[in-house]
C-alpha cells in the first residue's frame, strides 16, 4: 500500500505526508475476499479498519438469523477501533468481504496514541462523546424495549384474560352439571324406570335443538316463567334448577307434556333434571371449546407476529401481518374504535422480512389509535399497484399540522408524552420500509383524517 492510496481517502483530509507515512508504517494491508470474514461481532474491537477499495458487508445476528445491517462500499469508510477509547469496546457487526479489494488495518492502541499526539484535545472529545453516547443509547434502547414489551404484554394479557376466565367459569360450572347429571340418573334408577322409558326420554332429549338466535331478556323471562309454572303444577320442587337451562335450550311446555306421558311422580322430576343437566353440560362444553379455541388463536397470532420460529426473509401474504398486529393491539381498539378492512383479494404475495414489517404495522396502527383517542374508524387498505403492493393505515383523528407532518419521519421526533407509544418512531419505520425493503412511506393528512401509505415491491431488493 502506498501513500497515494491514503491521500485520496476523505477520512485522512488534513494529515501531512509524514503523518500518513506514520499511519502506513503502523498499519497493515488486508485483502478483501468475497465470503471471508475480517472481524466478528462481539469480539474486542482491537483494530481500526479503513476501506481503500472493494466492499464489505456488516452482518449481525438477530435472533437465529444473520442480517446485513450495512455495507462499506465507499473508499474511506471505516469500522471498529473502539478500544482506542473504551477498553470494553467490541465490534457491533461481523465484517464479511463482498467485492475484492483492500483495507488498512490499524491497532486500536496505535490509533489512540496517534490521536493523542496529533490532536490531543480532539482525542479527549471523542472519548467523552463515545462514552456519553454509549450510555444514552443503552439507557434509551432499554427503556424503549421495556415500554414496547410492556405495551404488547399488557395487550396480550388483556386479550387472553377473557377467554381464560370464561374457560375457568365453564369448567367450574361443568363440574356441578356433571354431579347433577349423575345424581338425577341415580334417582331414576332408584325409581325403577324401565329401559323403554329411559330410551323414550333419551329420544325426547335428542329432539332438543339449541337456539340459533338469542331471545330478548323479557321474552326469555316469560318463557322461563311458563316452564316454572308447569313444573310447579306437576309437583316438581326443584323447578328453579330445571327451568332455566330448559328455557335457554328452547324447550317449551308441549315438550314437557310429552315427557309427562312417559314419566310420572318422582321419576318425572329426576328425568327432567337429567335432561336439563345434559343440556347444561353440552352448552358449557361448547363455551369451553370456544374459549380454548380463542386462546389457541391468540397463541398462533403471537407466533405469526413475532416470527421467532421462521426464516427472516419469506414470501408472505401482507394481510397476515396486519391481522396478527390487530390481535396484539386489540385492547386499544375494542371500545370505541371500529376497524374497517378493505383488503384486495388479488394482491400478490411479497418477498419481505415479516418480523420487521410487523413492527411497522404496530407503530402505524398504534399511532392511529392514539390519534383517535379511543373513538373513531381505523381503515386498513391493501391493493396491488403494478409490481408493488400498497398498504394504507387511515384514521379519523384530528389530523397532523403541516409542520408535524413535515417532521414526522425525522429521527427522535415525537409528539407523544414520555412512556407513550411503542418506542418505534416513524424514522425507524421509514428505514425498515425504504432501506430494508426498497419501498416508500408517506403521509397524507388533513383535518379529520390521516393516512399513512406504504408502498412495497413484490420482490425485496438484494
Mean pLDDT score, 195-211? 86
Mean pLDDT score, 4-16? 87
Q: Which fold has domain 3-118?
A: Jelly Rolls (2.60.120)
Describe the crossing of helices 266-306 and 318-328 by its angle, rounded to 10 degrees.
Answer: 120
pLDDT tens for each residue of 416-432: 544 444 434 687 788 88
Helices (H), 191-252: 195-206, 217-233, 239-248
- The answer on pLDDT for 390 being more than 80 is yes
H or E segment to which residue 120 belongs: helix 120-190
Mean pLDDT score, 398-412? 78
Question: Which of left, alpha, beta for 63 (phi over 0: left; psi -120 to 50: alpha)?
Answer: left
Mean pLDDT score, 84-112? 89
Question: Which of left, alpha, beta for 34 (phi over 0: left; psi -120 to 50: alpha)?
Answer: beta
pLDDT tens for each residue of 225-239: 999 999 888 888 888
Average pLDDT, the chain: 82
What's the pLDDT at 287?
A: 84
Is 78 within 8 Å of 49 (Cβ atoms)? yes
pLDDT tens for each residue of 294-341: 777 777 766 666 554 455 678 889 998 898 888 878 777 777 889 999
Residue ranges per structural domain of the chain: 3-118, 161-293, 309-457
pLDDT tens for each residue of 238-269: 888 889 888 888 888 999 999 999 888 888 88
Please report, for residues 167, 253, 294, the alpha-carbon distance to residue 286 in angstroms, rounded to integers and kept in the order given: 10, 25, 12
Q: Give dist(CA 251, CA 303) in Å, integer.
A: 44
All three cell numbers of 308, joined, read 421467532
H or E segment to which residue 451 belongs: strand 449-457
CATH assignment of 309-457, among 3.40.50.620, 3.30.70.20, 3.40.50.2300, 3.30.565.10: 3.30.565.10
Q: Give dist(CA 319, CA 6) in Å, integer.
A: 51
Is 12 within 8 Å of 20 (Cβ atoms)? yes
Band the pLDDT of 35: cuts 50, 70, 90: very high
What's the pLDDT at 339?
A: 92
Mean pLDDT score, 171-192? 86
Nearest to 375 by CA among 330, 422, 341, 335: 335
Please tell me whether the overall predicted TM-score, pTM, comes out greater than 0.85 for this model: no
What's the pLDDT at 425?
A: 65
- The answer on pLDDT for 30 being more than 90 is yes
Question: At 93, is the secondary structure helix, strand, or coil?
Answer: coil
What's the pLDDT at 416?
A: 54
What's the pLDDT at 370?
A: 86
Chain-centroid distance of CA 188 in Å reads: 54
Question: At 417, is the secondary structure helix, strand, or coil?
Answer: coil
What's the pLDDT at 328?
A: 76
User: What dihedral do alpha carbons 384, 385, 388, 390 form, nearest 10°?
Assistant: -60
Amino acid at each position: 500500500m502506498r501513500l497515494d492510496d491514503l491521500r485520496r481517502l476523505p477520512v485522512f483530509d488534513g494529515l501531512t505526508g509524514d503523518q500518513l507515512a506514520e499511519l502506513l508504517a503502523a498499519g497493515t494491508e488486508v485483502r478483501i475476499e468475497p465470503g471471508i470474514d475480517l472481524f466478528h461481532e462481539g469480539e474486542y474491537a482491537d483494530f481500526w479498519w479503513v476501506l481503500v477499495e472493494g466492499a464489505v458487508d456488516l452482518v449481525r445476528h438477530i435472533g437465529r438469523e444473520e442480517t446485513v445491517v450495512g455495507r462499506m462500499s465507499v473508499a474511506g469508510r471505516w469500522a471498529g477501533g473502539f478500544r482506542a477509547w473504551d477498553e470494553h469496546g467490541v465490534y457491533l457487526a461481523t465484517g464479511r468481504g463482498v467485492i475484492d479489494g483492500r483495507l488498512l488495518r490499524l491497532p486500536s492502541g496505535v490509533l489512540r496514541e496517534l490521536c493523542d499526539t496529533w490532536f490531543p484535545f480532539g482525542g479527549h472529545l471523542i472519548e467523552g462523546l463515545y462514552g456519553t453516547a454509549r450510555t444514552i443509547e443503552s439507557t434509551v434502547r432499554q427503556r424503549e424495549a421495556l415500554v414496547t414489551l410492556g405495551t404488547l404484554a399488557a395487550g396480550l394479557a388483556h386479550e387472553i384474560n377473557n377467554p381464560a376466565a370464561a374457560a375457568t367459569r365453564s369448567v367450574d360450572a361443568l363440574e356441578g352439571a356433571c354431579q347433577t347429571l349423575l345424581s338425577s340418573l341415580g334417582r331414576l334408577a332408584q325409581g325403577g324406570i324401565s329401559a323403554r322409558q329411559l330410551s323414550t326420554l333419551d329420544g325426547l332429549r335428542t329432539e332438543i335443538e339449541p337456539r340459533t338466535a338469542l331471545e330478548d331478556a323479557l321474552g326469555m323471562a316469560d318463557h322461563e316463567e311458563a316452564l316454572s309454572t308447569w313444573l310447579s303444577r306437576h309437583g316438581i320442587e326443584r323447578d328453579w334448577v330445571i327451568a332455566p337451562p330448559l328455557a335457554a335450550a328452547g324447550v317449551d311446555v308441549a315438550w314437557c307434556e310429552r315427557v309427562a306421558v312417559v314419566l310420572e311422580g318422582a321419576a318425572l322430576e329426576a328425568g327432567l333434571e337429567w335432561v336439563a343437566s345434559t343440556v347444561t353440560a353440552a352448552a358449557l362444553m361448547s363455551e369451553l371449546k370456544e374459549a380454548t379455541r380463542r386462546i389457541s388463536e391468540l397463541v398462533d397470532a403471537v407466533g405469526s407476529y413475532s416470527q421467532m420460529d421462521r426464516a427472516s426473509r419469506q414470501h408472505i401474504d401482507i394481510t397476515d401481518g396486519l391481522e396478527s398486529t390487530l390481535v396484539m393491539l386489540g385492547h386499544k381498539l375494542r371500545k370505541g374504535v371500529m376497524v374497517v378492512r378493505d383488503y384486495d383479494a388479488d394482491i400478490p404475495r411479497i418477498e419481505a422480512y415479516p418480523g420487521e414489517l410487523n413492527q411497522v404495522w404496530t407503530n402505524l396502527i398504534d399511532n392511529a389509535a392514539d390519534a383517535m383517542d379511543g373513538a373513531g374508524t381505523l381503515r386498513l387498505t391493501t391493493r396491488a399497484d403494478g409490481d408493488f403492493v400498497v398498504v394504507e393505515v387511515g384514521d379519523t383523528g384530528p389530523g397532523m399540522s403541516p409542520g408535524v407532518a413535515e417532521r414526522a419521519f425525522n429521527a427522535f421526533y415525537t409528539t407523544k408524552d414520555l412512556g407513550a407509544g411503542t418506542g418505534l418512531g416513524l424514522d425507524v419505520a421509514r428505514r425498515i420500509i425504504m432501506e430494508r425493503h426498497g419501498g416508500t412511506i408517506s403521509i397524507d393528512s388533513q383535518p379529520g383524517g390521516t393516512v399513512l401509505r406504504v408502498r412495497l415491491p413484490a420482490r425485496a431488493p438484494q
